[in-house]
Amino acid sequence: MSDSAAACATLNQSVAKLSGVGPAVEKLLAKIGIRQIIDLLFYLPMRYEDRTRITSIGAAQVGQRVVIEGVIELADIVFRGRRALICNISDGTGVMALRFFYFSNAQKNNLRRGSRIRCFGEVRFGARHKEMIHPEYRVLKDNDSQVLEKALTPIYPVTEGLHQARLRQFIGRALALMRTTQLPDWVPAEVLTELGFPDIDQAVLMVHAPPAEISIDQLNGGTHPCQRRLAFDELLAHHLSLRLLRERLQNDPGPVLRGTGQLIERFYRHLPFELTTAQQRVVGEILHDMDSCRPMLRLLQGDVGSGKTVVAAVAALRAIECEAQVAVMAPTELLADQHLRSFEDWLTPLGITVAGLTSKMPAKIQREALQSIKAGVADVVIGTHALFQERVEFANLALAVVDEQHRFGVHQRLLLKAKGPAGLFPHQLVMTATPIPRTLAMSAYADLDCSVIDELPPGRKPVQTVVMSEQKREAVVARIAAACAKEQQAYWVCPLVGESEVLDCEAAEVTAANLQSELGRLSVGLIHGQMKPAQKERAMADFVAGKIDLLVATTVIEVGVDVPNASLMVIENAERMGLAQLHQLRGRIGRGERSSTCVLLYKPPIQGNARKRLEVIRGTTDGFVIAEEDLRLRGPGEVLGTRQTGRLQMRIAEVVRDSDLLPVVQRAAERIMRRHPSNIRPLIDRWIDAQGQYGGV
């Protein structure tokens, strides 16, 4: 057996083989993804603490976590609103109060006046002295020669019942085994040499037991060379897993869609506008993909109003010309309805049958839609997640268009594969109006080719954005009255009251009633997520027709709604919304000939990230600039959306901080796939839990 194989055999044993790990502890470790001994080595600290030196009480700063040592001058139980044990300790430079809300009699008796104590905790402001609440402590015996920690102390994410000290013991035992067996390094030596990275053993040992002389700020910032080495490995594993997913998907044959182009030319002649240069370029990329026997896997990015839907319609026409079906999937009923209207307006005059399918449709209409889909009568099927249902059978599905990609997970998207003809994987076009920063796209969408519509249609005027205190609400209402008197229309977006959609809707109803009272003869409408589909459709139809002057809405209008005459939007409590959401909402106006204004009302005072967000959104309408700032402020998981966060919940890598590694990761992945393919699977297994792998990769 080779040294590498022997190391794998030892470290891949169950954690139950370690001393102190019984069945109960084994279950606790499994909860945090630790099942084998090697998992302990790659269960990495989230931060570090310095317990290698004693700080004098006088020098201890509020907010610091430090070790102090002194003599107990006072120990007493006090009742100041809440029962607590207070110990005052002194070291000659000052006094520190230790406060315990939970304590036993034995603990109280142990903390006697005159005893010497060493403790560790966060320094806070106290009533009379600086204080620590529930510090870790040890009462020192006479002539106690206990030494301080020799290395910085790692702090790990833990689960209930598993304490830091015990987890550190298990990791220490795994490190001892690693020293005797040597950890297999799946990144080729020539790559490490080029990058100047340490070997895997050195990196793992350092992150678990960093010497006291290493800068704790550097460690907590994740910039030490050993941390960078591990971050590189993790990014590489994620990138390779997505590349394997892409290869696996494209190993399945896709339908070859080579049309004459006559149907698309007829479509162009019926359009009241010409496609922009960017749209034409993207159409060419998509049609080239669909002409291949490998299934298209393409992400289409385009800012709000850039014309992604019409590009999707062109792709649909290529499939229809080849006597195949198209599925268009949207995340909400409202957006599905919008797409249904657009596709019907564009395609019905060409003799193409467009059908809708959502879970909230009446049963009879659903049955009729399902029959037409199965029989192949419906050329284009537009719906929500209802398209995933087992009972939905297509006669010949060749193209799946997924709108607002970040609302769906990879697994959901892959379910559409089963809807295609036997042995064929439908082409996939996934679209997003939430621009994805290049650094994030390189990490999160390595399984997709990327097309960008980076040009707005001619005539689109930029929206002026104004930030105002809610104290000027009356002036804003007067502005709405004046605009509507000139036959303009407006949106009033209600604040997010809380996590409950019901509460949001109640707020919308109250706001609509108040605005109707203030605006007198103007017609005020209402739309929110709790309304029935028919009610929402009727409200939007009335707004489009001009029967409603002011539409009060929750963020249900964030995507999909297109009303060219709406030129004014007011967003309440804008400081509580994310940049991407504000940008999406603002994109609902500015679609007509008039100049448009978006008013962001905030509740003062605002500070920190809330202030930064409003400054960014006021300063630019460029979706990619906004997305980069959103990524910096919120992180990749939030930018991608809740369904996608699992893809980038990494142990040590951070996409923003480590973005400079991404091009290097791509080059290394190419080399490993060409020269060291046997290293790919072990590297992925090391960093990505089996339950988190994508599409069965």
Give the span between the Cα atoms of 359 and 298, in whole angstroms.
27
396, 435: one domain: yes
What Cα–Cα distance (Å) separates residue 636 from each residue in 416, 419, 608, 661?
A: 26, 31, 19, 16
Contacts of 566 (CB under 8 A, 6+ apart): 488, 489, 490, 491, 543, 551, 588, 589, 591, 592, 596
469, 528: one domain: yes
330, 396: one domain: yes
Task: Provide the domain limits for residue 314.
Answer: 262-453
Query: Which of these three, 453, 476, 496, is where a domain ends?
Result: 453
Is residue 114 assigned to a domain? yes
419, 281: one domain: yes
pTM of the model: 0.71
338, 359: one domain: yes
555, 607: one domain: yes
Is residue 432 assigned to a domain? yes
pLDDT of 641: 47
Is residue 694 assigned to a domain? no
Task: Determine what percent of the chain is predicted with pLDDT higher than 70.
Answer: 89
364, 435: one domain: yes
pLDDT of 410: 60
pLDDT of 499: 44
What's the CATH number where 375 sits? 3.40.50.300
Query: Which of these three, 420, 453, 486, is where a domain ends?
Result: 453
- Token representation of residue 197: 């990275």
List of the chain residues with pLDDT < 70? 1-8, 143-146, 405-414, 434-435, 437-444, 459, 496-506, 557-561, 634-649, 690-697
403, 501: one domain: no
Is residue 299 assigned to a domain? yes
Give the span between the Cα atoms of 124 and 229, in whole angstroms.
36
Is residue 231 assigned to a domain? no
Task: Report how many domains make up the chain.
Answer: 4
Buried b (16+ CB within 10 A) or exposed e, 11-37: beeebeebeebeeebeebbeeeebbbb
What's the CATH number where 98 sits? 2.40.50.140
Is residue 630 assigned to a domain? no
Chain segment 479-502, per-residue pLDDT in tens? 999 999 888 999 999 875 444 454
Is residue 625 assigned to a domain? no
Chain segment 509-562, per-residue pLDDT in tens? 888 899 999 998 899 999 887 788 778 878 888 888 889 999 998 877 655 567
pLDDT of 472: 93
Give the torsion sign (CA, 677, 678, 684, 690). positive
133, 14: one domain: no
446, 539: one domain: no
103, 208: one domain: no
Output the CA torsion 171→175→181→184 (10° steps): 80
Is residue 506 assigned to a domain? yes
355, 377: one domain: yes
